């Protein structure tokens, strides 16, 4: 079965790398939102897929581009993945050719190995599979086997020498053409592999043997084109779940997957190559030029319809890729580009070649074993003869029925193919929409987390610092949720299938320009000075008001303490003026006398009671009379004792009150001492506050004087920078205008060349001598203009790198000053002047970037038209020997005059 389809093209835009950022490079490529469109300068290109820089993430390259090719490989189709681009654009990284066994790069080749052996595990019960790998490189227009045991031994014996040196000791492989027109390599090593680890070991061994080197643009530059080929032979057994031949026999398929990592195109001046590196670069560019010519020939619809010549034999690279480009293969081209504006010319050329490659049409067929194919043809012929035999025997009804059945079968097969293709398209669209839904879910969860963080009072800096970890966690959770949902759906389907007792069939598969380089320096400087003066005056007044209010508060506190102290001292004076010590002695003596008198009376009472008890109790009158006298006297004495006791209690009460008065006096004395101590402290605080204010005022006045001095110095620096920026602005404007004029003139010359070439070709007898001389003069002027544009392009690139370094240095000084790691010296620029200088330089960088992209576009067009009209085509107009002599004389005169 034959399948005609165009080459699919994907563009992979790598991020800016550190050297480009240090040189001030900006992004010159814009990707249309949700569209596979790329804009650079005034050019717009549309591809099948765009990755990086706002397009799909680079991790999706395998799923979108390569996974369908692996699926086609198992169906018997040849497939090719081709990485194309300038040096340092990330081709080897994208392809994963530098695989070392423990590489976690996730390039195309490691993912292919993983996918192939996963499919092998699922189909091993119904098919017999055999996998072989080969690994070659095209180095200096010679084909070498990277899996050759001899080259590996040489590499091990001399590990200190690069692979390019050992390549001189290896025997090159010859390219042979089969009888059917296919391309084979005589004697190439094809190693049989059974596990992913074994295949990875061959890839790693070949990667170590590959020629690499260091240039100014890439420290690990590939110096050869590498092709890693995976050959899959599968025997689909009759009765298995896989498809078989029409007669139920075995179907043997043999398909190849070519994974091509091309060396990058390079310019000797930019790479700094010389000697051996220069020769390697020449061979690399020669092969890529031949590849570009093949792509142009195949992508030109007019030439393709006319059956024009395709120069496959111009290089060994194009001969090996003959089937991949316009032949029996399903091909995907990954164009790797750099977004830096200094690489705009190379990037534009790569995008143009990739755009042409989309027009290449391949005719892929299922590759069956030749013997099996012959047997199928013979069986088909036998079946046809048997059908005719039935017809001639007279059983025309059976024959008509058979023809109807065959027609129905063919219709059903065609419908099946259409449905299968539609299913594949729907599956790709479903994966795309699932990915978009996944990204939307992650973005939604991230916004929800940001909203929650803001509600919780977190700052934006804290939210940004935790954003990467939170996004990673959200991605992991969303992936886990999708995986669990898929498993749940699968289980539900199985349950539904078991309940209904049937099974369903499973399907496989440009920078803005700003003319304002300095923002109204005089007015802004004056306004800033006025604002600073007003701010300083307000700050001084606030400080003085604060000091006065504090002094008033302290004075009020001091007056309050004086008032309280006077009151306490007056009260203490009243206590001390009352003769408290004499009064105390009087009260103590009085209490003592009363106590003695009380005791005497009590002794007398006791005596009377004793006498009263000793009187006899007889009836005598004398005794009775004596007893009454004693009782009367005893009552009198008891009355006196009770009176004395009351007096004693009164005196004790007075003594307690006196003790309380003494305690109050002591407490009052302590409080007086505390108030005096507070008064002293407050007076010291008032004195200290006054001294601090005087010191602050003196330092402030000194600081104001220094600021005024610094302001005068800054004003001088500002005027100096204004003059420098104005000068650079005028120079940049002049150079930009000159570059515009040169590029405009170059464009006019190229358009005139194209028009004159058409007029010349339309002539019958050819142009005259005068017309040829004008054409030669025009060609010379075009070449001179191209040289001028390229020189100006290189000069502006160098100037832009210088400005970028200055911006980086000024920003570094800002950071160091902000972190207080260095001090401002006399020759150091002030912060305001430094920021103004950075702003002016950034505007000049933006203007320079726009000019560079414009010139790169013109240089790319000039190079393309030189390829079409230059070389041998330049002299096609010379038809006679006389014309040649006239042109030679004219060129000699021009050279003599110029010298």
**Which pLDDT value is given to residue 501?**
43
H-helix or E-strand containing 862?
Answer: helix 831-869
User: For the ranges 357-361, 671-675, 680-684, 758-762, which has the lowest average pLDDT?
Assistant: 758-762
Confidence of residue 284 (pLDDT cuts 50, 70, 90): confident
Q: What is the pLDDT of residue 258?
A: 94
Residue 764 has pLDDT above 50, yes or no: no
Would you say residue 112 has pLDDT above 80? Answer: yes
pLDDT at residue 116, rounded to an integer: 93
- The reply to whether 481 and 613 lie within a common domain is no
Domain boundary at 481, 509, 537, which?
A: 509
Closest listed residue to residue 285, CA positions, set 69, 86, 35: 86
Q: pLDDT digits over 224-243, tens only?
A: 899 999 999 988 765 544 44
Least confident span in 2-11, 376-385, 543-552: 543-552
**467 within domain boundaries:** yes
Are both 759 and 678 inside the same structural domain? Answer: no
Question: Which residue is associated with the tokens 């020997």?
Answer: 881
Query: With the CA atoms of 419, 421, 423 and 429 taken in that order, what torsion angle do they form, in degrees rounded to the nearest 10?
Result: -140
Residue 516 domain-assigned?
A: no
- Model confidence pLDDT, tens digit, residues 589-636: 766 777 777 777 777 777 777 776 776 665 556 667 766 777 777 778
Percent of the chain with pLDDT strictly greater than 90: 8
pLDDT above 60: residue 396: no
Residue 156, pLDDT score: 40
**Containing structural domain, residue 448:** 394-509
Which residue's structure tokens are 């490691």? 110
292 to 285, 310, 864: CA distances (angstroms): 10, 11, 11
Q: What is the pLDDT of residue 426?
A: 82
Is the pLDDT at 767 greater than 70? The verdict is: no
pLDDT bucket at 839, cuts 50 / 70 / 90: confident
Question: The tokens of 42 are what?
Answer: 């005034």
Mean pLDDT for 352-364 is 88
CA–CA dist 646, 234 (Å, integer):
135
Is the same domain home to 76 and 138?
yes
Helices assigned H by DSSP within 134-180: 149-157, 163-166
Say yes or no: 6 and 57 in one domain.
yes
Instruction: Answer yes or no: do 467 and 567 share one domain.
Output: no
Q: Indicate if 489 and 625 belong to the same structural domain.
A: no
Q: 150-159, 257-266, 307-316, 724-733: which has the minimum mean pLDDT?
A: 150-159
> Is residue 386 one of the residues assigned to a domain?
no
Q: What is the pLDDT of residues 422-444, one digit of tens each?
A: 888 888 778 777 777 777 777 77
Mean pLDDT, all residues of the chain: 74
Interatomic CA distance for residues 140 and 87, integer angstroms:
16
322 in a structural domain = yes
Give me the pLDDT at residue 41, please.
Answer: 82
List the structure tokens of 652. 């004790």
- Confidence label for 160 from pLDDT (cuts 50, 70 and 90): very low
Q: What is the pLDDT of residue 50?
A: 93
On the question of pLDDT at 464 being above 50, the answer is yes
Residue-level pLDDT at 81: 94
* Per-residue pLDDT, 26: 83
pLDDT confidence of residue 527:
44
> In terms of pLDDT, which residue wins out, 416 or 156?
416
Q: Please choose, from the candidates 18, 16, 66, 13, the residue with its C-alpha nearest in 3D space to the C-alpha of residue 40.
A: 13
Asked whether residue 222 carries a pLDDT value surpassing 60, the answer given is yes
State residue 158's pLDDT score.
Answer: 40
Work out the average pLDDT over 390-398. 63
Say which residue, 270 or 175, is predicted with more confidence.
175
Residue 867: its pLDDT value, please? Answer: 62
Q: What is the pLDDT of residues 850-894, one digit of tens each?
A: 777 777 777 777 776 666 555 555 666 677 777 777 778 877 777
Q: What is the pLDDT of residue 616?
A: 63
Q: Are residues 281 and 403 in the same domain?
A: no
The pLDDT of residue 517 is above 70: no
Q: Is residue 382 assigned to a domain?
A: no
Cβ-based burial of 360 (10 A; exposed 0-12, middle 13-18, buried ≥19): buried
Higher pLDDT, 370 or 883: 883
Say whether both 747 and 730 belong to one domain. no
> Is a pLDDT exceeding 70 seen at residue 521?
no
The two structure tokens encoding residue 104: 């976690």
Model confidence over 324-350: pLDDT tens digits? 888 889 999 999 999 988 888 889 889
Please say if the pLDDT value at position 153 is more than 50. no
Q: What is the pLDDT of residues 650-673, one digit of tens each?
A: 777 777 777 777 777 777 778 878
pLDDT at residue 381, rounded to an integer = 78
Using a 10 angstrom Cβ sphere, with 0-12 exposed, 13-18 middle and 19 or more buried, the burial of residue 639 is exposed
64-76 pLDDT, tens digit each: 999 999 999 998 8
As a 3-state breakdown, the chain gives helix, strand, coil percent values, each rounded to 5, of 65, 10, 20
* pLDDT for 889: 80
What pLDDT does residue 413 have? 85
Strand partners, 229: 134, 258
Q: What are phi and psi of 130, to 5 degrees?
A: -135, 125
Q: CATH number of the domain that 141 lies in?
A: 3.40.850.10
What digits encode the pLDDT tens for the residues 182-216?
Answer: 788 888 889 999 999 999 899 888 888 888 777 76
Annotated binding-site positions for ATP: 85-92
**Average pLDDT score over residue span 90-96:** 87
**Do 489 and 545 belong to one domain?**
no
> Where is pLDDT greater, at 517 or 586?
586
User: Do 729 and 755 lie in a common domain?
Assistant: no
Does a structural domain hold residue 546?
yes
Question: Which tokens go with 556?
Answer: 């009020």
CB 233 within 8 A of CB 253: yes
pLDDT at 400 over 80: no
User: What average pLDDT does the segment 813-841 reach?
Assistant: 67
Q: What is the mean pLDDT of residues 389-397?
A: 65
Whether the predicted pLDDT of 164 surpasses 50: no
**Which of 876 and 297 is assigned the larger pLDDT?**
297
Dihedral sign computed on CA atoms, order 344, 345, 350, 351: positive
Asked, for residue 690, whether it belongs to a domain, the answer is: yes
- The count of structural domains within the chain is 4
pLDDT band at 788 (very low <50, low <70, confident <90, very high): confident
Stated pTM of the model: 0.56
> Within this chain, do residues 368 and 411 fall inside the same structural domain, yes or no?
no
Q: Is residue 380 part of a domain?
A: no
518-530 mean pLDDT: 45
Residues 556 and 663 occupy one common structural domain: yes
Count, residues in the chain: 899
Rounded to whole angstroms, how far apart are CA atoms 731 and 725? 10
Q: What is the pLDDT of residue 104?
A: 59
- Binding-site residues, in ranges, read 85-92
Environment class of 350 (CB within 10 Å of its CB; exposed 0-12, middle 13-18, buried 19+): buried
The answer, yes or no, to whether residue 686 has pLDDT greater than 70, is: yes
Cβ proximity of 350 and 338 under 8 Å:
no
For 266-325, give the secondary structure using H, E and C: CCHHHHCCCCHHHHHHHHHHHHHHHHHHHHHHHHCHHHHHHCCCCCHHHCHHHHHCCCCC
Q: Over 90: is that where the pLDDT of 11 sits? A: yes
Look-up: residue for tokens 């490189």?
137
- Best-predicted range by mean pLDDT (279-293, 384-398, 511-525): 279-293
Note the Cα 87 to chain centre separation in Å: 22
């Amino acid at each position: 079965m034959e399948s005609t389809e165009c080459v699919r093209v994907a563009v992979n835009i790598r991020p800016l790398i550190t050297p480009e950022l240090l040189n001030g490079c900006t992004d010159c490529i814009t990707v249309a939102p949700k569209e596979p469109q790329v804009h650079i300068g005034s050019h717009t290109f549309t591809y099948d897929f765009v990755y990086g820089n706002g397009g799909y993430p680079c991790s999706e390259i395998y799923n979108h581009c390569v996974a369908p090719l692996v699926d086609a490989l198992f169906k018997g189709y040849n497939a090719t993945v081709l990485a194309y681009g300038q040096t340092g654009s990330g081709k080897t990284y994208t392809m994963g050719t530098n695989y070392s066994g423990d590489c976690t790069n996730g390039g195309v080749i490691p993912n292919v190995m993983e996918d192939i052996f996963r499919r092998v595990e699922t189909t091993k019960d119904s098919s017999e599979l055999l996998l072989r790998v080969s690994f070659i490189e095209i180095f200096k227009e010679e084909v070498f086997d990277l899996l050759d045991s001899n080259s590996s031994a040489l590499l091990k014996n001399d590990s200190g020498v690069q692979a390019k040196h050992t390549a001189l000791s290896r025997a090159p492989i010859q390219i042979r053409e089969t009888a059917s027109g296919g391309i084979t390599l005589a004697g190439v090593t094809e190693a049989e592999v059974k596990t992913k680890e074994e295949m990875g070991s061959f890839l790693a061994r070949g990667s170590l043997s590959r020629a690499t080197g260091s240039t100014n643009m890439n420290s690990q530059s590939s110096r050869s084109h590498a092709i890693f080929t995976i050959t899959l032979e599968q025997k689909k057994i009759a009765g298995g779940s896989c498809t078989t031949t029409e007669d139920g026999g075995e179907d043997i398929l043999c398909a190849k997957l070519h994974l091509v990592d091309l060396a990058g195109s390079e310019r000797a001046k930019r790479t700094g190559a010389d000697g051996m590196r220069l020769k390697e670069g020449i061979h690399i560019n020669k092969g890529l030029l031949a590849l570009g010519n093949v792509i142009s020939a195949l992508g030109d619809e007019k030439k393709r319809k006319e059956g024009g010549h395709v120069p496959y034999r111009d290089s060994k690279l194009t001969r090996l890729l003959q089937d991949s480009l316009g032949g029996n293969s399903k091909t995907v081209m990954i164009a790797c580009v750099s977004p830096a504006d200094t690489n705009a010319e190379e990037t534009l050329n790569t995008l143009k070649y990739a755009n042409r490659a989309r027009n290449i049409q391949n005719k892929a067929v299922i590759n069956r074993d030749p013997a099996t194919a012959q047997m199928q043809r013979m069986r088909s012929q036998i079946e046809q003869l048997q059908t005719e035999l039935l017809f001639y025997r007279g059983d025309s009804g059976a024959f008509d029925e058979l023809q109807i059945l065959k027609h129905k079968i063919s219709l059903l097969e065609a419908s099946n193919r259409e449905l299968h293709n539609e299913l594949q398209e729907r599956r790709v669209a479903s994966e795309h929409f699932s990915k978009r839904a996944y990204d939307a879910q992650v973005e939604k969860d991230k916004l929800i987390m940001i909203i929650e963080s803001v509600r919780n009072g977190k700052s934006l800096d804290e939210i940004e610092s935790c954003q990467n970890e939170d996004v990673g966690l959200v991605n992991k959770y969303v992936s886990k949720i999708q995986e669990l949902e898929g498993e749940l759906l699968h289980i539900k389907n199985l349950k539904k299938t078991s309940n209904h007792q049937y099974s369903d069939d499973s399907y496989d598969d440009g920078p803005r320009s700003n003319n304002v380089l300095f923002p109204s320096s005089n007015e802004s400087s004056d306004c800033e000075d006025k604002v600073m003066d007003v701010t300083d005056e307000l700050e001084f007044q606030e400080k003085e008001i604060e000091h006065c209010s504090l002094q008033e508060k302290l004075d009020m506190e001091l007056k309050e303490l004086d008032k309280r102290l006077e009151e306490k001292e007056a009260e203490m004076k009243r206590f001390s003026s009352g003769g408290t010590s004499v009064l105390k002695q009087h009260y103590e003596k009085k209490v003592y006398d009363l106590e003695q008198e009380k005791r005497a009376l009590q002794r007398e009472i006791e005596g009377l009671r004793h006498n009263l008890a000793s009187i006899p109790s007889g009836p005598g009158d004398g005794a009775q009379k004596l007893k009454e006298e004693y009782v009367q006297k005893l009552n009198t004495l008891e009355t006196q004792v009770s009176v004395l006791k009351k007096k004693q209690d009164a005196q004790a009460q007075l003594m307690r009150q006196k003790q309380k008065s003494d305690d109050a006096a002591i407490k009052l004395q302590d409080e007086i001492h505390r108030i005096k101590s507070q008064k002293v402290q407050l007076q010291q605080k008032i004195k200290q506050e006054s001294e601090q204010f005087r010191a602050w005022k003196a330092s402030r006045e000194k600081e104001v004087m220094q600021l005024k001095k610094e302001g005068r110095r800054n004003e001088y620096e500002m005027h100096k920078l204004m003059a420098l920026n104005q000068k650079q602005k005028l120079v940049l404007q002049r150079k930009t205008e000159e570059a515009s004029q040169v590029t405009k003139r170059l464009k006019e010359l190229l358009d005139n060349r194209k028009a004159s070439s058409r007029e010349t070709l339309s002539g019958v007898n050819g142009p005259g001598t005068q017309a040829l001389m004008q054409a030669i003069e025009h060609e010379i002027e075009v070449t001179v203009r191209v040289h001028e544009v390229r020189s100006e392009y290189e000069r502006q690139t160098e100037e832009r790198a210088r400005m970028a370094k200055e911006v980086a240095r000024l920003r570094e000084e800002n950071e160091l000053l902000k972190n207080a790691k260095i001090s401002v010296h006399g020759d150091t620029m002030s912060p305001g002047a430094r920021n103004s200088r950075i702003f002016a330089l950034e505007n000049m960088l933006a203007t320079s970037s726009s000019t560079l992209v414009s010139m790169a576009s013109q240089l790319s067009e000039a190079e393309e038209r030189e390829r079409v009209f230059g070389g041998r085509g330049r002299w096609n107009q010379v038809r006679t020997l006389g014309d040649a002599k006239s042109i030679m004389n004219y060129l000699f005169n021009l050279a003599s005059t110029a010298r």
